[in-house]
Amino acid sequence: MRSEAPALLPVFRSQLQADILAALLLRPEQEYSLTDLARRFNAPLSTVHDEVKRLTDAGLLRRHSVGRSALVQANTSNRLVQPLTELLFLSWGPLQVVADEFSGLHGAERVLIFGSWAARYLQRPGHPPHDLDVLVVGHPARGDVYDAADRAQQRLGMPVNPVIRPSSVWREAADPLVQQIRSGPLVAVLVPDDSDEKSAVTARRDDV
C-alpha cells in the first residue's frame, strides 16, 4: 500500500519515505534495524523493507547485517546526502513533528522551539543539536504536554524537553527563564493568528 506524498515536502513519494530519511539523515551516526523503523513509524515491516531498499539502491542509505538483523544508516559519502539533509532539517524535522504532536493540547496558547535547534534553524553557527527544547505557553495539563513530548521524542529519536509557562508569565517576561528564551533564538511553531511572533522570527533569521 502506498501512502500519499507529504504535503509539507511533496518531492518524496510517501510520508513514510520522508520519515525514514529524516530519521536517518538527521542522525547520521545512528543505525536502525528495519524492525526499529517499522515500530517507530507504525508501518508494516514489508513496506519499510521496500522503502529502505529503494533508498539503499539510490545510494542514500548504507545497509549491513549483524546476525539476523539488517541495519541501515545514512550514507554520508554520497554527495546528495548533505543537501538532502539540509532540506529535511529545514522542512521536515523537529518543526513538523512538534507541530504534529503538540497541536491538540487543550489550553495551550502557543508552542515555540528555543535553544540550540532554534539557533541552527536560524542559521546561527554551532554544534549539531542533540536535543530539542519546546516551550508551551498557556494552561495545558502537564501530563498531556509530557505525552506530546514523548511522542515527538519517539519520532525524532532525540530528547524533547518541554517547558510550560502560564500566559501571564510569558507576557510579563519577569521570569528569568522566559527572559532567557525571549532573548535567544526562537522559532514559532503554533501561535495565534494575530501574533507578531512569526514575523519576529522571520526578522531574526533575516538579520543572521
Cα–Cα distance, 112 to 207 (Å, whole number): 19
Neighbours of 168 (CB within 10 A): 10
Which residue(s) pair with 160 in the sheet? 132
Cα–Cα distance, 145 to 134 (Å, whole number): 10
Neighbours of 44 (CB within 10 A): 12
Q: How many residues does the chain have?
A: 208
Topology of the domain covering 93-207? Beta Polymerase; domain 2 (3.30.460)
Cα–Cα distance, 94 to 130 (Å, whole number): 12
Cα–Cα distance, 208 to 196 (Å, whole number): 19
Cα–Cα distance, 118 to 31 (Å, whole number): 25
In this prediction, residue 155 carries a pLDDT of 84
Pairwise pLDDT comparison (31 vs 128), residue with the higher score: 31
DSSP string, 64-104: EEETTEEEEEE-TTSTTHHHHHHHHHHHTSHHHHHHHHHTT
Per domain, the residue ranges of the chain are 15-85, 93-207
Cα–Cα distance, 183 to 43 (Å, whole number): 41
- Cell 522559532 found at: 187
Closest CA to 95 of 138, 129, 51, 127: 129
Tell me if 15-85 shares its fold with 93-207.
no
Q: Does residue 200 carry a pLDDT above 50? A: no
* Phi/psi of residue 204, nearest 5 degrees: -60, -40
Topology of the domain covering 15-85? Arc Repressor Mutant, subunit A (1.10.10)
In this prediction, residue 204 carries a pLDDT of 42
Worst-scoring range by mean pLDDT, 1-15, 35-49, 99-113, 143-157? 1-15
Under DSSP, is residue 4 helix (H, G, I), strand (E, B) or coil? coil
pLDDT for 45-84, tens place per residue?
999 999 999 999 999 999 998 888 889 999 999 999 999 9
